[in-house]
Structure 1
Amino acid sequence: MQTEVLREIGEAPSVERVKADLTKLVGFGTRHTLSDTTSETEGIGAARRWLKEEFENISEACGGCLEVFYVRDYVGGENRIPEPVEIVNVIAIQRGTADPNRFVVMSGDIDSRVSSVMDGESVSPGANDNASGVAGVLEAARILTQYEFEGSIMYAQLSGEEQGLFGGQILAEYAKEQGWDIKGVINNDMIGNIQGINGVIDNTTARVFSEGTRAVETEREARIRRFTGGEVDSPSRNLARYIDKMADLYIRNLDVMMIYRLDRFGRGGHHRPFNDAGFPGVRIMETNEDYNRQHQDIRTEDGVEYGDVLSEVEFDFVAKLTGLNAVTMAAMSWAPSPPANVEVSGAVRPSTTLSWKELDPDENPQLAGYKIYWRLTDSNQWEKSVFVPADVTEHTLENIVIDNYYFGVASVSKDGFESPVVFPGPAGSFGD
């Protein structure tokens, strides 16, 4: 059941629907944070109202399975927002049947910009950056609302990214106020370009960026990590490994590059505010960027065309990366919650013992057991595993020396869906 349904979900995104959504978004002229909010046809106000209506249409088609609302706040007095402006995020929640407070989030950025970050009037199509991500979120919602999951899925269209990641900050703070248990944020920012400024054309790879150590790590936790490891095993990093595995198993002709960096060199994205709040989060995007198509006025100079226009988007690629998001969220939401309070011991012993807290059976009725994973310390992916049943919360790996490997634990459903692997201790915690 697991393989069949995830492959079905991975291949479900419609190129035609993605193209239609991208065309509609580009048609708003500009979606700059400081653009018109009252027009029915132009500016960010019209764009976000249309997105809310689309989520409501999707919800109507699934019998009201989505909670659709705005999460909003005012921002002003900042470098890129000198006067108060309302930042409005469009949110849709598909509640889980058993653990409705556990979330995996897919996000895109509504806003766009041209060369001047303060120009809220010039035509700024933002076709790849980031109508592609927004269209992907809509399409994933259309697909996944055809199914029911034990955990919840959130579809988030965020604003204010180009002006300073404000939409993500507002939603992350709201999530903490609501007590939401967010196990993963998948930020989609530029998922529609296959031709780089370096001349490479490639529709078979994508990048996933993830932080190495948790942004909220305390000094005490850092001291523990220094002696026990975890520099490359934050929950965000193990979420990236999970996405890489989903691509290998369920998405045709796609190889994920796990980039061991928060984001591109010296740059930022909307997963960062969630990392800053303590939530696991990663960025999915194309491998080869065309900088002439990012943050540029539409023009031609010396025979070179500039501008983030619709004609440069590869809709098939957007659909492919949307499928990767969809299978990841489906698998995480069908799986039990990632194990909590994972610990490891085995110093000066020939064997290694893993322990963890028993999952709440009411919130995880699908739990079949746990997989204990281990890998060589220089390996990117988890290599070996052993399964133990649901009533076990401690297991010893005989003749496996703790010094030589990294270890983790994943929960497994009766249908074979697995959670991301949780590295022991605070360095790897998904929130206990």
Structure 2
Amino acid sequence: MKKVLLAINFIIISSQLSAQKIINRDPQIETIVNQVSSDSLKAYIDKLVSFGTRSTLSTTTDNKRGIGAARKWVLSKFQEFARQSDGRMTAYIDTWTLQPDGKRVDKTIEIGNVMATLKGTDPTDNRIFIVSGHIDSRVTDVMNREADAPGANDDGSGTVAVIELARVMAKSKFPATIIFVTVSGEEQGLLGANHLAERAVAENWNIEGVLNNDIMGSNHSNETNIIDNTRLRVFSEGLPAFELDKKVGAIRQYGVENDGKARQLARYVKETGERYVDNLEVVMIYRNDRFLRGGDHTPFVNKGFAAVRLSEMNENFLRQHQDLRIEKGIEIGDHARYMDFEYLRKNTAINAATLANLAKSPSMPEDVILDVRGLGNSTSLRWKASKTGKVKGYYVLMRETAMPYWQKKFFTTDVKITLPYSKDNYFFAVQAVSEDGNESLPVLPRVGLRNAGE
């Protein structure tokens, strides 16, 4: 009797296991994610802090102190990694001269973004994905160029994440191009990010996603004393800041206030990042940024690109924009000893998984249309094939209108589909899928109306 019961229990457990959702990880991406090292990140932070201050206004001629020395060191790391890329990665400092602005720049300065470009292997694929952090640091007075400003977490954490991503990804081949950049001038008013976004528009870069990393290496907050290294915030705008006046009618009519480019990218970061990084939840924040602060993704958002900010879950404001001091027995200042490098490793790995999956994916499907020319309780969509990449098929995504995340995926090798779900009750999107299972960003359909010449 016991043997019979054991056999029945085994069958029940086996059937339950077979019904569980299987997470499929691309072996190449998994290898990249596993190579991200907390020891490397700590070593990079210690080196950045050793430059004393990285104020944008600090010296650019001293070889051991100031923003100039820090930028040269980052460039040397990028160049070191580039030697492992078979010529695909190139690195340089994009420099320009900035005149006094009467605000946070009080004299003529040389400013520069340190950039490493990992060129895509598909000559027909001009897509670009950018990952950034800002290299500059500050103390209480943003104009103080002399005082020590270690900037370990703000934003040494984002800077070293970019450096480590360049290291672990340089040897890999991706159809699309990835740009790793440490921007200057964030604390003086997003100067480096503005320059890069303007350059991207002027040179007609096809940027499909920007991941900006700013303050992402501390696990505990002041005031609330919350300690948590299992959650990471991703900030994204819902309504598009770019040309909203031209889009507001359709947004209002079809109820897609929660489906701008940045919000779609944020969903993608959550789904992809959690697929590859264990014990970390990506928490979507439905704001472009925090109160009273701004990040380097915003200039890209304002130019119409999909851009998001990744930040630690619980900030400690005693470690940001502070003179180094002891106050009421409490040490104040942005020191490396207050960081959690295992947490920073996981947050960096989220970036690695997202970038690799995007850069390996086919381009997005073209001209996605939701057919609303007749009444009915089904939904018909059609689209044109992706222009680049080896496409295995397409996922049609579906979610209820009040749900924050996509709930179902339907796979098809066709360029059209009819689903037994009412178009009135759900949102839909389409993404291309590569032969290795890498998904493009989702494309929300435009509406095909009666007599619209579809």
In which range does the TM-score fall when normalised by the shorter chain? Answer: over 0.9
Larger radius of gyration: 2
1:422 matched to 2:448? The reply is: no
Instruction: Verify the 8 A CA contact 1:71 1:170 in the aligned structure 2.
Output: no
Instruction: Verify the 8 A CA contact 2:325 2:331 in the aligned structure 1.
Output: yes
Aligned to 2:393: 369
1:408–1:78: structure 2 CA closer, same or farther, 3 Å change rule? farther
Aligned to 2:54: 31
Could you tell me how far apart the structure 1 residues matched to 2:446 and 2:259 are? 10
Could you tell me how far apart the structure 2 residues matched to 1:40 and 1:49 are? 9
Aligned to 1:299: 325
1:49 matched to 2:72? The reply is: yes
1:202 matched to 2:206? The reply is: no
Q: Give the structure-2-normalised TM-score.
A: 0.89
Instruction: Verify the 8 A CA contact 1:103 1:180 in the aligned structure 2.
Output: yes
Letter in 2 for 1:83: K
Alpha-carbon distance, 1:249 to partner: 1.3
Alpha-carbon distance, 1:338 to partner: 2.1
Q: Which moved more, 1:56-65 or 1:369-378?
A: 56-65
Instruction: Verify the 8 A CA contact 2:29 2:353 in the aligned structure 1.
Output: yes
Letter in 2 for 1:82: D
1:40 matched to 2:63? The reply is: yes
The alignment partner of 2:248 has SS state of helix
Instruction: Verify the 8 A CA contact 2:25 2:275 in the aligned structure 1.
Output: no
1:348 matched to 2:370? The reply is: no
1:143–1:73: structure 2 CA closer, same or farther, 3 Å change rule? same
User: Equivalent of 2:206, from 181, 195, 204?
Assistant: 181
Residues 265-284 of structure 1: CA distance to partner in whole angstroms, max 9, x if unpaired?
23210000110111100011
Letter in 1 for 2:195: I
Q: Which runs of 5+ in 1 are unaligned?
A: 427-432
Q: How does 1:393-404 map to 2 (within 5 A)?
A: 393-397=415-419, 399-404=420-425
Alpha-carbon distance, 1:221 to partner: 1.2
Alpha-carbon distance, 1:116 to partner: 0.5
Residues 321-373 of structure 1: CA distance to partner in whole angstroms, max 9, x if unpaired?
1111001100001111122332323263322222333222xx31x21121111
Could you tell me how far apart the structure 2 residues matched to 1:377 and 1:89 are? 41
1:143 matched to 2:168? The reply is: yes
Aligned to 1:162: 187
Aligned to 2:39: 16
Alpha-carbon distance, 1:259 to partner: 0.3
Identity %: 41
The alignment partner of 1:127 has SS state of coil
Alpha-carbon distance, 1:3 to partner: 3.4
User: Equivalent of 1:71, from 91, 94, 97?
Assistant: 94
Instruction: Verify the 8 A CA contact 2:84 2:171 in the aligned structure 1.
Output: no
Aligned to 1:60: 83
Alpha-carbon distance, 1:394 to partner: 2.8
The alignment partner of 1:61 has SS state of coil
Aligned to 1:275: 301
Instruction: Verify the 8 A CA contact 2:274 2:350 in the aligned structure 1.
Output: no
The alignment partner of 2:200 has SS state of helix
Residues 273-296 of structure 1: CA distance to partner in whole angstroms, max 9, x if unpaired?
110111100011100000001000
Count of equivalent residues: 420
Instruction: Verify the 8 A CA contact 1:230 1:423 in the aligned structure 2.
Output: no
User: Equivalent of 1:388, from 412, 428, 436?
Assistant: 412
Alpha-carbon distance, 1:7 to partner: 2.6
1:217–1:342: structure 2 CA closer, same or farther, 3 Å change rule? farther
Aligned to 2:9: none
The alignment partner of 2:105 has SS state of coil
1:125 matched to 2:150? The reply is: yes
Aligned to 1:430: none
Instruction: Verify the 8 A CA contact 1:77 1:84 in the aligned structure 2.
Output: no
The alignment partner of 1:206 has SS state of strand
Aligned to 1:359: 386
Q: Give the structure-1-normalised TM-score.
A: 0.94
The alignment partner of 2:251 has SS state of helix
Letter in 1 for 2:438: F
Could you tell me how far apart the structure 2 residues matched to 1:46 and 1:121 are? 14
Letter in 1 for 2:85: C
Aligned-pair RMSD on alpha carbons? Answer: 1.6
The alignment partner of 2:173 has SS state of coil
Could you tell me how far apart the structure 1 residues matched to 2:328 and 2:231 are? 31
Instruction: Verify the 8 A CA contact 2:25 2:276 in the aligned structure 1.
Output: no
Aligned to 1:328: 354
1:112 matched to 2:131? The reply is: no
Alpha-carbon distance, 1:100 to partner: 4.7
1:266–1:393: structure 2 CA closer, same or farther, 3 Å change rule? farther
Letter in 2 for 1:201: I
Alpha-carbon distance, 1:179 to partner: 1.7
Aligned to 1:237: 263
